[in-house]
Chains A and B, each alone.
Chain A
Amino acid sequence: MLTLQDVGWRVGATPIVERVTFEARAGEFIALTGRNGAGKSTLLDLVAGLRRPAQGDIAVGGRVLSQWTPLERARAISHLPQTMYVQSPVTVDQLVMMGRYPHADRWFESDADRLAVDQSMAECGCLEFRDRRVTTLSGGERQRVLLAACLAQRPKVLLLDEPAAFLDIDQQLNCFDLLKRQAEAGVLCIAVSHDLNLALEFCTRLIVLAGRTVACDLPVADAVDRTDWLPYFSSRLERVMTSDGRARICYR
Chain B
Amino acid sequence: MDRRTAAPPHHRTIAPSRHRTIAPPHHRTIAPPQSRTESKWVVLSALAFVAAAVVLPFVGPSPLDLSRVWAREAPDWSILVQLRLSRTLLGLFAGAALALGGCVFQAMLRDALATPYTLGVSTGASLGAVLAIALNWQAIGGVPAIWAGAIAGAACVLFFVLGTSVRQPEISPLGLLLAGVATNSVCSALILLVYGLSGMGASFAIARWLIGSLDAIPYGPLAVFIGTVSVLAALIVRQARAWNLIAMGDQWAGTRGADVRRLMRFGYVSGSVLAAVTVAVTGPIGFIGLVVPHLVRTRLTADSRVLMPCAFFLGGVLLASCDALGRVVLAPAEVPAGAITACVGGPYLIWLVRRRI
Contact = CB atoms under 8 A, between A and B. Distances in A.
Given A174-B13, A177-B14, A102 B249 contact: no
B111 to A, nearest CB: 8
A98 B256 contact: yes
B73 interface: no
Contacts of A242: 1-2
Contacts of B248: 84, 86, 88, 90, 95, 98
A89 B255 contact: no
B245 A98 contact: yes
Interface stretch (A1-9, A58-66, A71-79, A214-222): A71-79
A48 B251 CA distance: 9
A28 to B, nearest CB: 19
A242 B110 CA distance: 49
A150 B89 CA distance: 45
Interface string B10-53: 11111111011000110111000111100000000000000000
Contacts of B168: none
Interface stretch (B138-146, B221-229, B298-306, B327-335): B298-306
Interface string A137-162: 00000001000000001000001000
B252 interface: yes
B112 interface: yes
A244 B260 CA distance: 51
B14 A50 contact: no
Contacts of B201: none
Contacts of B20: 119, 123, 181, 185
Contacts of A174: 11, 13-15
Contact of B29 (A90, A102, A118, A175): A118
Interface in A104-138: 104, 107-109, 111, 114-115, 118-119, 122-125, 127, 130
B19 A73 contact: no
Contacts of B111: 87
B167 interface: no
Given A70-B254, A102-B256, A93 B34 contact: yes
B107 to A, nearest CB: 8
A181 B256 contact: no
B343 to A, nearest CB: 27
Given A74-B256, A94-B34, A181-B20, A124 B302 contact: no
B65 interface: no
A248 B2 CA distance: 11
Contact of A127 (B25, B36, B110): B25
Contacts of A102: 256-257
Contacts of A35: none
Given A49-B255, A127-B27, A88 B302 contact: yes
B163 interface: no
Contacts of A173: 3
B247 interface: yes
A79 B255 contact: yes
A94 B245 contact: no
A87 B24 contact: no
Interface string B165-190: 00000000000000000000000000
B15 A181 contact: yes
Contacts of A98: 244-245, 248, 252, 256
A97 to B, nearest CB: 8
Nearest to A51: B169
A21 to B, nearest CB: 23
B14 A124 contact: yes
Interface in B179-224: none
A178 interface: yes
B17 A181 contact: yes
Nearest to A185: B20
B347 interface: no
A170 B242 CA distance: 35
A125 B255 contact: no
25 contacts: A45-B251, A70-B254, A70-B258, A70-B259, A71-B257, A73-B255, A73-B257, A74-B255, A84-B251, A86-B248, A88-B110, A88-B247, A89-B302, A90-B247, A94-B244, A94-B303, A98-B256, A107-B305, A118-B27, A119-B25, A122-B24, A122-B25, A170-B10, A246-B2, A248-B1
Give 3 nearest A-B pairs by CB, closest first: A74-B257, A102-B257, A174-B14
Given A48-B251, A122-B25, 19 more contacts: A49-B255, A78-B255, A81-B249, A84-B249, A87-B111, A88-B110, A99-B256, A102-B257, A119-B20, A122-B24, A125-B12, A125-B13, A127-B27, A170-B10, A173-B3, A181-B17, A244-B2, A246-B2, A248-B1
